Amino acid sequence: MPGMYGWILAILIIGIQFYLSRRRNVLWGAILPALYSVFIVGWFIKRFGQEDTLSLVLAAVGGMAFLLSVWISGREAVKKKRKKELEKMELQDM
């Protein structure tokens, strides 16, 4: 049962990140990557020397890459949406 909660949390975080990355202000999408960075740094400081450092670094890089890729895809979706709206406005003006 504990594994199920991890999957639910991961899906929730992905959904929140995608939602925030599609907001008008680009900085909303930076909230979760910034919080993740703070969490990883705190975890690294707390666990340094106790656990395998390589696995922690890989988790940090992988998680950050994933959050940033969701942020980038959300920003691209916003650009496409704006472009379609602009094309519609230009067609109505003609």
Angle between helices 31-47 and 53-93 (to 10 degrees): 180
For residue 16, name the pLDDT band (cuts at 50, 70, 90): very high
User: Cα–Cα distances in Å, from 37 out to 3, 25, 41, 64, 74?
Assistant: 23, 21, 6, 8, 20
CB atoms within 10 A of CB 43: 14
pLDDT digits (tens, 9 = 90+) for 34-88: 999 998 888 888 877 777 778 788 888 998 999 999 999 999 999 999 999 999 9
Is residue 19 scored above 80 in pLDDT? yes
